[in-house]
Structure 1
Amino acid sequence: MTPSNLIGGHVFVAGGLATGGLRHASKIGAEMIQVFVSNPRGWALSAGDPAEDAKLRESGMPAFVHANYLVNFGSPTEATLESSVTVIRHTLRRAAAIGALGVVVHTGSAVNQSREEAMRQVREHLLPLLDEIPDDGPDLLLEPMAGQGRMLCATVQDLGPYLEALDFHPKAGVCLDTCHAFAAGHDLAAPDGVRLTLDALHEVAPGRLKLIHANDSKDACGSKRDRHENIGAGHIGARPFADLMRHPVAAGVPLCVETPGKEEKLREDIELLKKLR
């Protein structure tokens, strides 16, 4: 029997990582959650609360952590590289403390330098962090972007050289964002779009898909614009999400909703995905 996909969302943690996070999860009907463990738009780090960490770890709620948005291992700026290393090392440790299954990190941009130099930096700075993760620790999940600017990884095919730069490390997994993939040119709305995309992912990264960010898109396929829309209300539509959950590459992979709107909209998106499941 094909394992079922858990469906949940990114939750707010006001009142405590576990207290606030689990309360929000209950309100939106989440079967899994994604959280930040520090400010996602700043370099400041949070030590966390051991009691809250233990409460979340012992709750049995499958959890993932999204890393800081500023992290960029392709950056030509030394301060950004150093801060990226510090933040990811800290985030992996915090993820382990709460029993998270993985840490999602954006794959970065070359900014104003060559792709070759940027990828050299990815290898130099990210590979040692992967080596530090214990066998029972969280995976580091690479999230391809929408293709804007000089992004190092947008299409699923881009994951091939990215993983090669990391020696196909066993702790390097993949987080596929449906809005990003659609914006990068994978036409998930086409009749065979989901199958072609996931087949291509299996070719370059077999067995590495660990999380799906389930987001519709405000913009057309190939727009290279990262603007999430509620499920079924954008250019992707609802049907492809059903196709996705029926593809063997996505079997048992959790779906995390990151769509716009307040609590009730997030709950509606999660309920719709459950119906499609």
Structure 2
Amino acid sequence: MTGNPIGGHVPVAGGLATAGLKYAAEIGAEMVQVFVSNPRGWALGEGDPREDAKLREAGMPVFVHVNYLVNFGSPTEATLTGSVAVVRHGLRRGAEIGAAGVVVHTGSAVSQTREAALRQVHDHLLPLLDEIPEDGPDLLLEPMAGQGQMLCATVQDLGPYLEALESHPKVGVCLDTCHAFAAGHDLAAPGGVARMLEELHQVAPGRLKMFHANDCKDACGSKRDRHENIGAGQIGERAFTELMRHPVADGVPLCIETPGKADKHREDIALLKKLRP
């Protein structure tokens, strides 16, 4: 394998490694992303040390995605408290399975000001970064598609968010191509991929650690988060070819989160491998 490792989000019902690695082999994945707790609930589970060891020993990059409820910009105290618990748990479980990074959505201000929401990011998320051991996973910020009062959508939005986290060395970025396109980065236009990556490098140099490689069902700037299979959406194959050839993206893993089951995921991964230089 050379260049960008290419893989996908894998199901883990039946065992983090037993089920996850079986699915990874079925779809031809060179890296995997997993949930370590219920993606749509606050319940936190303990891991199985035997499964953890198998995943660590698999010899492929592993990433964790925390649940979808996490929002450090929320004005609701229960959501803030839950977010702290979920991210702390995700970072601990990430360390136990040898994950390179733990992905978290950058959240929304909901009904309060952006400034107030970013103060909460500073007060509640920054302390968790200080708990990560030096050899532990990075926390990867994933900007969203721009709907509502999202705190990060375009790569420029990462600037104030990183400032709120005092540019902590354990913070990285997970860039979702569908989100970026929906937020207004025209990846389908000539030079669009290069512009976005160069802007990202100016705002967050050296922090890009992972891509969520997804095509987009809707037009650029739609602010609609609807993933499509690679080459079947509005972004198109060429953008992914350009992305994997840009120096800012050199060696950065690509993880699909595209529609369908194993057969479609296998096709998406095979296509990305074909496009890889």
In the other structure, the counterpart of 2:229 is 230
Matched positions, count = 275
In the other structure, the counterpart of 2:161 is 162
CA distance in 2, matches of 1:195, 1:230: 22
- Amino acid across the alignment from 1:262: K
Secondary structure at the residue paired with 1:34?
A: strand
Taking structure 1 as the reference length, the TM-score comes to: 0.99
CA distance in 1, matches of 2:160, 2:134: 24
CA distance in 2, matches of 1:120, 1:258: 31
CA distance in 2, matches of 1:67, 1:208: 19
Q: Does 2:254 match 1:255?
A: yes
Q: Does 2:11 match 1:12?
A: yes
CA distance in 2, matches of 1:7, 1:59: 15
Per-residue CA distance 1:5-50 (angstroms, 9 max, x = gap): 0000000112100000000000000000000001000000010111
CA distance in 1, matches of 2:251, 2:139: 18
In the other structure, the counterpart of 2:201 is 202
Secondary structure at the residue paired with 2:57?
A: helix
- Amino acid across the alignment from 1:270: I
In the other structure, the counterpart of 1:85 is 84
Secondary structure at the residue paired with 2:4?
A: coil
CA distance in 2, matches of 1:86, 1:12: 23
> Where in structure 2 are the equivalents of 1:22-171 lying within 5 Å?
22-171=21-170
CA distance in 2, matches of 1:246, 1:164: 29
CA distance in 2, matches of 1:142, 1:260: 23
Aligned-residue identity in percent: 80
In the other structure, the counterpart of 2:183 is 184
CA distance in 2, matches of 1:261, 1:212: 19
Secondary structure at the residue paired with 1:219?
A: coil
Question: Which structure 1 segments of 5+ residues have no match?
Answer: none
Secondary structure at the residue paired with 1:54?
A: helix
Deviation of residue 61 (structure 1)?
1.9
Taking structure 2 as the reference length, the TM-score comes to: 0.99
Per-residue CA distance 1:221-272 (angstroms, 9 max, x = gap): 0000000000000000001001000001000000000000111000000000
RMSD: 0.6
CA distance in 1, matches of 2:34, 2:85: 19
Per-residue CA distance 1:104-145 (angstroms, 9 max, x = gap): 000000000111100000000000000100110000000000
